[in-house]
Amino acid sequence: MLGDIITPDLFASALRMATPLALAAIGGTICERSGVVNIALEGIMLTGAFAGAAVTLATGNPWVGVLAAILAGVAIAAIHAFASINLRADQVVSGTGLNILALGLTGFLMERLYGHPGTTDPVTMIRPLFSFPKPLAGFGGEVLRWIEGVFLSHTPIVYAAVIIAIVAQWALYKTRWGLRLRALGEHPKAADTVGISVYRGRWVAVLMSGALAGLAGANLVIEQVGSFTENMTNGRGFIALAANIFGRWTPVGSYLASLLFGFADALQIKLQMFRGQIDIPPQFFLMLPYVLTVIVLAGVIGRAVGPAAVGQPYEKG
């Protein structure tokens, strides 16, 4: 049975499941490195997913839907930026409020646009980048099946997430922008003293996190599920926050942590196919990713040290 579980599909599924988590987690990393906590990742992802589905249904073009998802994410993130940076509101309260707003807003728009709650009609999906003929028989064919299945069977946003993680890591530690961003999260007063605009830097970081979380929503709807369902993010934004902490507030670390959570998600789906052979309630498999999140946070959060000024509003003067 183990041979039926450990297959290329399992690892390919882990990569797919990890992609929306990774995009949102990298957004959270950039945001918190600037000193702003973005609890609203869950709501931003949900809003992006709805906008992506609605625009794709209206235009028939999934790439326009991806753009709409990113813009919707930026719009929701702008509310969080204005509340937490300009109004100096409590960032956790602002983010929590936006999560509730996103849940209600998407449900309301479902009723207004489609006349019913629940799920939209199927949308046009983005297909995998590569297509290969049936692999050859024998050992060589088996190796090719694993390479193709695990690494070459994915849609564009899956590969984009890997590139974004690498580029963001480089930008954060090798560029002047990254140095300034980290300064905002560690000591905004000192950054302000040397002429760095704290407000502008934090605004850009929050908007970037909104764009990435919106892209995560687009991946969920247009590349994975094929339709929008109310509350379909199902806690992924909060798992992304855990991945950000587990990844030590670095883009590549956040991506690798997301892979762990994605693998747990893929494994629980795979194990459900063997319910008749494994004498364990199916609910146990469903809770695997969330149990892993609690275990990771319980083991790591006490030792992980975030940016010194994260969550602290800044007042110039």
Q: Are the CB atoms for 49 and 228 separated by under 8 Å? A: yes
% of the chain residues with pLDDT over 90: 69
pLDDT band at 303 (very low <50, low <70, confident <90, very high): low
For the residues 287-305, what does the mean pLDDT come to? 72
pLDDT digits (tens, 9 = 90+) for 129-186: 888 776 667 777 788 888 888 888 899 999 999 999 999 999 999 999 999 999 999 9
Tokens of 206: 């929050």
Of 296, 298, 245, the closest CA to residue 31 belongs to 245
Reduced to 3 states (helix: H, G, I; strand: E, B; else coil), residue 224 is helix
Three-state secondary structure call for residue 229? strand
Greatest C-alpha distance within the chain: 72
For residue 10, is pLDDT > 70? yes
- With 0.85 as the threshold, say if the pTM is over it: yes
The answer, yes or no, to whether residue 68 has pLDDT greater than 80, is yes
pLDDT of the residue at 9:
86
pLDDT score of 5 more than 60: yes
- Supply the angle between the helices 156-174 and 176-186 in degrees, to the nearest 10: 80
For 227, half-sphere exposure in the C-beta direction (CA atoms, 13 angstrom radius) is 9
What burial class does residue 256 get, using C-beta atoms within 10 Å of its C-beta: 0-12 exposed, 13-18 middle, 19+ buried? middle
**How confident is the model over 219-252, as pLDDT tens digits?**
999 999 999 999 999 899 999 998 999 898 999 9
